[in-house]
Amino acid sequence: MLDQFEALKWIRANIADFGGDPERITVMGQSAGSAATHDILNSPLTKGMIKGAIVESGVRYPHDPLCSSLDENHHTLEFALNQAVKYLASKNASTIAAARQLSYETFVENSQFSFGNTSSSWVFTATLDYYAMPDTYYNTLLKGDANDVPVLTGITRDESGATYGLNITVQEYLADLNETYSGQLVDEFLALYPAANSSQASLSENLQFTERSMVGTWLWARMWRPNASSPVFTYLWDHAPPGKDQGAYHESEINDVLNNLYGPDSPWTGEDYRIAATMNTYWINTYWINFIKSGNPNGAALVHWPEVTIRRSRSSLVTCGARCLSQVKRK
């Protein structure tokens, strides 16, 4: 995290030499990159260094059970220090000075795997040190301590547990449910997402993951908004790229966002190009470009993308893809 902050400082110091404006930096990331972007957004060490953030897959409502296994679940400083000592020992380095003599390749080798007496499989993740990371995920959001800059964030339909073509048994469905919820919540959950047979269980499993992520993104934005003067825009990416069998999978929006439907990795169809472009205006890509330029994705010839407000009774989450940019209205 501190290395990334230093990289941001370098960009601010040098971007003018490349024709850029150091006062108009927007950070953007997807998946692990979204976690890094979110850390930059939340840290007091980056105050005044960015003008916007794009967080793709994404942010989560603090009470979402998935937060316990994702970036929102920060390591404690004590845990991180113990891990660091063990990790340096695995590299035969007992001091910081010795660690600095290691090559980059040696230092990061096996860094994503567990070692020593620990159940954690991630060594280099965000640490709640009350310095670079000022407070817990929940408290930072609740108190509004993050950088007050425009935010664009969202998810894809078939990620975070949702799987295209899923086939599970009722027993597997109930086991997963009871591992996540208890008591009255189980009954309420089954009323919303029933599982009378395997087909219904599979449908409900996908639907609950999609809607939990979708609603979680919007609820995060609703918590963020009261303490911020800057706008926040949320989306649900629902277009499944051709030639794949995982629906609108994790990272499936990237080709459209980066206006890169020319690579050979997918057999792009006319529908894909229709979604990506109309009237010579690249819809999805242009929303992102506009946001980077001005902090607002909207512009001429584009379907209006409403920002999230604390007064809006219905979700401001919009769908991007075949129905871009229709409003999400499912209760």
The answer to whether residues 102 and 66 touch, using CB atoms and an 8 Å cutoff, is no
The answer to whether residues 278 and 318 touch, using CB atoms and an 8 Å cutoff, is no
Torsion, CA 258, CA 261, CA 262, CA 266, rounded to 10: 120
Task: Tell me what the pLDDT averaged over the chain comes to.
Answer: 83
Task: Return all residues near 124 (Cβ < 8 A) that are at least 6 apart.
Answer: 111, 112
Higher pLDDT, 16 or 253: 16
Higher pLDDT, 125 or 101: 101
Full-model pTM: 0.84
pLDDT in tens, 244-279: 667 777 888 888 888 777 766 678 888 777 766 643
Res 62 pLDDT > 70: yes
pLDDT in tens, 195-224: 999 999 999 998 888 888 888 888 899 899
pLDDT band at 9 (very low <50, low <70, confident <90, very high): very high
Rounded Cα distance, 182 and 170, in Å: 17
Lowest-confidence range among 4-18, 230-244, 262-276, 288-302?
262-276
Average pLDDT on 63-74 reads 74
Task: Return all residues near 196 (Cβ < 8 A) that are at least 6 apart.
Answer: 170
Average pLDDT on 237-243 reads 76
> What local confidence, expressed as pLDDT, does residue 12 receive?
97
> What local confidence, expressed as pLDDT, does residue 120 receive?
52
Res 100 pLDDT > 80: yes
pLDDT in tens, 26-43: 999 998 899 899 999 999
Supply 146's token pair: 């993050």
Res 132 pLDDT > 70: yes
* β-bridge mates for residue 249, sequence order: 158
pLDDT in tens, 144-201: 999 999 999 998 888 876 666 788 999 999 999 999 889 999 999 999 999 999 999 9
- Domains, the chain, ranges and CATH? 2-11+21-74+125-320 (3.40.50.1820), 75-124 (no CATH)
Res 124 pLDDT > 60: no
Q: How far is CA 12 from CA 17, 22, 39, in A?
A: 10, 5, 18
